[in-house]
Amino acid sequence: MRSIRDIYKVGVGPSSSHTMGPAKAAEIFRERVPEADSFRVLLYGSLSKTGKGHGTDRALKDAFSPLECDVVFSAADPKDMKHPNTLDLIALRNGEEIERARVQSIGGGDIVFEGDDSSGAEEEVYLENSFAEIASFCAFRHVDLPEYIELNEGEEIWGFLIDIWHHMKDAVKEGLSREGELPGGLHVQRKAKYLFEHIVEDKHSELVECQKVSAFAYAVSEQNADNGIIVTAPTCGACGVLPAVLYYFAEKRKLDDLQVAKALGVAGLFGELAKRNASVSGAECGCQAEVGVACSMAAAACGQVFGYSMDQIEYAAEVALEHHLGLTCDPIRGLVQIPCIERNAVAAMRAINSANIAYFLTGTRNISYDIAIKSMYYTGLDMNQRYRETAEGGLARAYQRRGKW
């Protein structure tokens, strides 16, 4: 399994697969063809269908700037397309094509250049590739999950994760300070500041928890929707869930940076397992792969913060993912706003509830995290294409047809 560094990428929203991945591909391709004087990019699949809403054209033009880049949202997909997020990069000189590459944007900002095995192959850091293997190793060596992470990644991993935590906190704070309408023409107003400033501090403590956690999730997700700087966890669209939960408990339990870093490390293991054995791409497996995985990461982080056993932490992550199975990706107008922002807040609360259930029902379950991941993957593959980030099904379709049925 790859390093958990792979899960957390600091970048500009609103989409890891539609903006961060294509921009990274453009930067690599541009360096490979220094003699080019302009570029053309053909977008296919989900990139073509929701690329406008997600800002794929803007991200590509920025990446190739100051050279010209013509971005084409292709109406038809090539017959041999291997991934729903595929793009062709074409380098031109004096208007003539001199080089071409096909790239898959596979989720979480990662890319694969087809025919180039080295392009997507990050170094394997862990020998274990399932939670069962991790648990067995930890039992054999008598180590807990943070110790297991340090054994494999070195103690420098904590400095990296503390830096990630600071970026996450910045996104929460910035999001809580901003007001107004989000871009894209859907007229969605930012709500995080309002939510935070109207917290009802009374005896209903569970209401206060819900309001605070939701405000933090809205804050980060609204930053993402507004092209702000966020951290993928595991993607841009699902970037609000984990920071919301950690921001809440860091404040409530007075956690220091290292304690939060360890929670981020544990969360990262669960995210990386999902990436390795299934997918974190909405275009490939629907929102269960994005917000579902984010929720499982946040539930695992809660378990680490609460001092749970390894079994309880896995249980929390499993519950969180299991109850997102089948969740579709249907963003209205291809913008990462409705249902995405609110969904991050709901998933943040669900992560806390999942951790609570794992505590009360320890040792009673039949389903492992590994089974939940595989279920998510095969459910995603069975899902109608409309529900995989095309903005052609579900809420996106019903919203477009409102009043016409």
Which positions lie near ligand SF4, rule CB under 6 A?
A: 237-238, 282, 287, 290-291, 329, 331, 336, 339-340, 343, 389
Q: Is 114 exposed, middle or buried (0-12, 13-18, 19+ CB in 10 A)?
A: middle
Nearer to ligand SF4, 138 or 325 (CB): 325
Nearer to ligand SF4, 52 or 343 (CB): 343
Nearest distance, CB of residue 402 and ligand SF4, angstroms: 18
d(CA 149, CA 147): 5
SS3 30: helix
For 77, other C-beta atoms within 10 Å of its C-beta total 16
Nearest distance, CB of residue 300 and ligand SF4, angstroms: 19
Q: How many residues does the chain have?
A: 405
Pairing of the two strands 229-231 and 10-12: antiparallel
Nearest distance, CB of residue 200 and ligand SF4, angstroms: 28
For 263, other C-beta atoms within 10 Å of its C-beta total 29
Nearest distance, CB of residue 240 and ligand SF4, angstroms: 9
Nearest distance, CB of residue 55 and ligand SF4, angstroms: 12
d(CA 244, CA 229): 15
d(CA 36, CA 395): 42
Nearest to ligand SF4 by Cβ — which residue?
237
Nearer to ligand SF4, 290 or 322 (CB): 290
Nearer to ligand SF4, 6 or 389 (CB): 389
Nearer to ligand SF4, 261 or 283 (CB): 283
Nearest distance, CB of residue 343 and ligand SF4, angstroms: 6
d(CA 148, CA 95): 54
d(CA 210, CA 283): 30
Write phi, then psi, for 258 (nearest 5 degrees): -70, -40
Nearest distance, CB of residue 339 and ligand SF4, angstroms: 6
Of 6, 55, 1, nearest in space to 234 by CA: 6
Query: Tokens for 73?
Result: 């949202």
Nearest distance, CB of residue 156 and ligand SF4, angstroms: 31
d(CA 278, CA 37): 39
Of 119, 9, 50, nearest in space to 287 by CA: 50
Nearer to ligand SF4, 146 or 240 (CB): 240
